[in-house]
């Protein structure tokens, strides 16, 4: 009967001869040794296959068939007949001084590309947390070499390195995360963008951000050739916040029954009227009849959706001007403040109607980063946090 070394092929380890396999409920132990072959002496270069002795070593491998796997390898020491040097045989899958296979290290790096914590990965592959961290710390991500044509910046709550907010830089056009910044304050951003030459900064044609003045100030100074774009989500929510503030103020004027009605109908009131079902419209109408001010606020909220639906800048400008005039004449303080905000950011808002770029991809990255942070119960070391985030999105950069 022919034997084709199926066990060795299944393991995928070169020149490994399997002597025995012992299994229990949670682990598999493989007893093996390398096939004998000539080696060159590391001192004099003489080729020899003369064996001096054997020593056993336990090394860890990737889990197989739902069980921890380890290999007890009978390592051979050769002796040089010329100089007498004793040296270990070459094992392709086991680096020097390591107690784990190459592919186990690669397996750890691959798993760290998801939102798993170091602890959960260590538990699943039977390694210590410090070993998993030590493997990951071999990875380094440098600063981007050049700035993209489309540049987006935002912040997220990282609480790393005793700083509450960290910054994220992305390329919305190619869906790439370019860098993670330890801080978002204006002085740090100035020092950061000074590192690029004026020629490199001129490559940026579109600068996407939210409605935070330090970002627009940075864009005005360092990216003079770029068009500043305010993300749509951030100016739309100004209207939603204004309307919700009116709802909260009005519901306090009525008794418990109406107050609970307004409170429990928050999502329906914010929802676009065109997407409401018939029974939802009846419920909304019953609330709008109670308060004239709420009815006016609701009308203004719905009117602003026509601005969002504009297909070009000129149409949006005309519709927004009309809306701002209506909001200021409404006598509702919340909408007056909101209209003043739109006037102040009008240029960046209107620019968003000319291009298809927004901070949607960046906000999605922020959400994934927050999942990573929650799984790990936070990070104290910013460099490790930064490398972990960039590694998590590195498949997109590739």
Give the residue among 319, 290, 287 at the shortest CA–CA distance from 305. 319
Residue 16 lies in a domain: yes
Same domain, 341 and 252: yes
Residue 144 lies in a domain: no
Residue 369 C-alpha from the chain's centroid: 4
Same domain, 222 and 365: yes
Residue 145 lies in a domain: no
**What are the Cα distances from residue 223, in Å, to 25, 183, 229, 254, 354?**
62, 20, 12, 52, 18
Same domain, 242 and 336: yes
Q: What tens digit of pLDDT does each residue of 357-394 get?
A: 999 999 999 999 999 999 999 999 999 999 999 999 98
Same domain, 158 and 263: no
Whether 2 shows a pLDDT value over 60: the answer reads no
Give the residue among 323, 311, 320 at the shortest CA–CA distance from 348. 320
Three-class SS state of 1: coil
**What share of the chain has pLDDT > 70, as a percent?**
96
Q: What tens digit of pLDDT does each residue of 235-283 get?
A: 999 999 999 999 999 988 888 888 888 888 889 999 999 899 999 999 9
Average pLDDT score, the chain: 90
Whether 160 shows a pLDDT value over 80: the answer reads yes
Rounded CA separation 3/20 (Å): 16
Residue 380: CB atoms within 10 A of its CB come to: 10
Query: Which residue in this structure is represented by tokens 């940075």?
Result: 218
Rounded CA separation 305/310 (Å): 9
Rounded CA separation 211/40 (Å): 67
Could you give the number of structural domains in the chain?
4
| CATH number of the CATH domain containing 195 | 3.30.420.10
Q: What tens digit of pLDDT does each residue of 329-366 get?
A: 999 999 999 999 999 999 999 999 999 999 999 999 99
Which domain does 11 fall in, by range? 1-94
**What are the Cα distances from residue 24, in Å, to 28, 100, 120, 355?**
7, 21, 22, 61
Same domain, 238 and 347: yes
């Amino acid at each position: 009967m022919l034997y084709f070394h199926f066990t060795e092929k299944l393991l995928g380890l070169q020149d490994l001869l399997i002597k025995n396999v012992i299994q229990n409920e949670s682990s598999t132990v493989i007893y093996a040794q390398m096939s004998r072959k000539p080696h060159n002496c590391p001192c004099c270069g003489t080729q020899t296959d003369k064996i001096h002795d054997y020593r056993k070593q336990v090394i860890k491998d990737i889990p197989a068939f739902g069980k921890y796997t380890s290999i007890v390898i009978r390592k051979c020491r050769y002796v040089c007949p010329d100089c007498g040097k004793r040296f270990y045989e070459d094992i392709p899958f086991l680096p020097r001084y390591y107690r784990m296979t190459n592919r186990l290290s690669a397996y750890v790096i691959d798993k760290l590309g998801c939102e798993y914590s170091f602890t959960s990965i260590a538990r699943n592959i039977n390694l210590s947390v410090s070993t998993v961290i030590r493997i990951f710390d071999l990875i380094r991500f440098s600063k981007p070499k050049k700035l993209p044509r489309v540049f987006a910046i935002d912040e997220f709550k990282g609480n790393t390195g005793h700083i509450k907010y960290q910054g994220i830089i992305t390329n919305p056009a190619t869906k790439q995360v370019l860098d993670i910044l330890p801080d978002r304050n204006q002085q740090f951003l100035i020092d950061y963008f000074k590192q690029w030459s004026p020629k490199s900064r001129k490559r940026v044609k579109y600068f996407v951000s939210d409605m935070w003045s330090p970002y627009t100030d940075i864009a005005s100074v360092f990216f003079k050739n770029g068009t500043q774009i305010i993300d749509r989500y951030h100016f739309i929510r100004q209207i939603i916040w204004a309307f919700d503030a009116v709802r909260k103020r009005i519901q306090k004027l009525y008794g418990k029954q109406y107050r609970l009605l307004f409170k429990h109908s928050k999502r329906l009131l914010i929802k676009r009227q065109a997407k409401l079902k018939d029974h939802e419209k009846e419920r909304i109408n019953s609330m709008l009849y109670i308060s004239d001010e709420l009815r006016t606020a609701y009308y203004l909220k719905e009117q602003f959706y026509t601005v969002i639906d504009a297909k070009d800048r000129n149409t949006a400008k005309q519709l927004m001007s009309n809306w701002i005039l209506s909001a200021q004449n409404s006598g509702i303080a919340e909408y007056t403040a909101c209209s003043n905000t739109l006037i102040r950011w009008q240029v960046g808002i209107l620019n968003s109607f000319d291009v298809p770029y927004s901070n949607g991809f960046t906000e999605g990255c922020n959400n994934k980063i927050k999942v990573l942070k929650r799984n790990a119960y936070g990070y104290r070391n910013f460099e490790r946090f930064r490398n972990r985030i960039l590694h998590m999105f590195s498949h997109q950069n590739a």
